[in-house]
Structure 1
């Protein structure tokens, strides 16, 4: 079995209004050292060991559904896990 951790973030060139709101809230709580906040998504996928090319499968999932490649970047980590 494979465990895939997918991290999705807005591209640097895309404004992040949600991140700005969080940064302003942190500043109002006296955490003024925070210079920037970027909000993203995290997903964990479990895939069976029978998947032949896990990396290609994950790339296709990210490009077609999980991320919007026009405004988002993604990265992922693939771990082989032992079923318990």
Structure 2
């Protein structure tokens, strides 16, 4: 996982990415608030999307197939 704090310290002004960023968040994740994840939008001019997935911080395990399908669809 890429840490937002690391990216913020290196991206300033016109150095923002032109690539779209999609963030995935477990709806029951107690470690991340939607507002915190939305901050990734500051790092790009290429668009930002937040996708929520049922589950907690470890949603990747039970929602693996759903997540892989979503990422694959975005890449197409």
Structure 2-normalised TM-score?
0.28
Between Structure 1 and Structure 2, the one with more helix by share is: 2
Kindly name which structure, 1 or 2, has the bigger radius of gyration based on alpha carbons.
1
Between Structure 1 and Structure 2, the one with more strand by share is: 1
Which of structures 1 and 2 has the larger relative contact order (alpha carbons within 8 angstroms, sep 6+)?
1
Structure 1-normalised TM-score?
0.27
